[in-house]
Amino acid sequence: MQKLTSYYPVVSTFEGESLVEFFVQKLGFDVVFQSDWYWHLTMRDQPTVNIAFVQANHESVPAAYRKPVQGMILNIEMKEIDAYYEQTKSHDWEVLLPLRSEAWGQRHFIVSTPAAGLLIDFIEVIPPSVEYSGNYSEDAAPVS
């Protein structure tokens, strides 16, 4: 396999402009390319963190797939999730899953976005329960 130079999701949507506004204003992204059918964003403080949005019915999308994303959850891992959760209360987001800890090693909460089929799961990795600690490979040992 060739060496990868980049990797990022491209979300198919009819809500591109609303998603750009959401990611810029609420998540600290900058627009690095935009047209009337495609937007590429990079996180301000971490330029290797990228996301793009494509107009779902654009000719560059294969005809059979020209529809908006459905049921996609975008994970964003971070530190200090409790403080961030408190901060987000001022964002007036629709929180679909309030902040909680999971036995498999996550403390997280989920919000909706302007695109009906796209959710964001904000996650802090925490130590898993004994029940789940054996599920991790040795190369991907959980946080301790």
| pLDDT 10s digits, 10-57 | 999 999 999 999 999 999 999 999 999 999 999 999 999 999 999 999
70-144, what's its fold?
Answer: 3.30.720
**Where does 1-68 sit in CATH, by number?**
3.30.720.120
* Three-state secondary structure string covering the chain: CCCCCCCCCEEEECCHHHHHHHHHHHHCEEEEEECCCEEEEEECCEEEEEEEEEECCCCCCCHHHCCCCCCEEEEEECCCHHHHHHHHHHHCCCEEEEEEEECCCEEEEEEECCCCCEEEEEEEECCCCHHHHCCCCHHHCCCC
Q: How do the domains of the chain map onto residue ranges?
A: 1-68, 70-144
Mean pLDDT of the chain: 92
* pLDDT of 141 over the 80 cut: no
Enter the pTM of the model: 0.87
Q: What is the mean pLDDT of residues 68-80?
A: 94
Identical fold, 1-68 and 70-144: yes
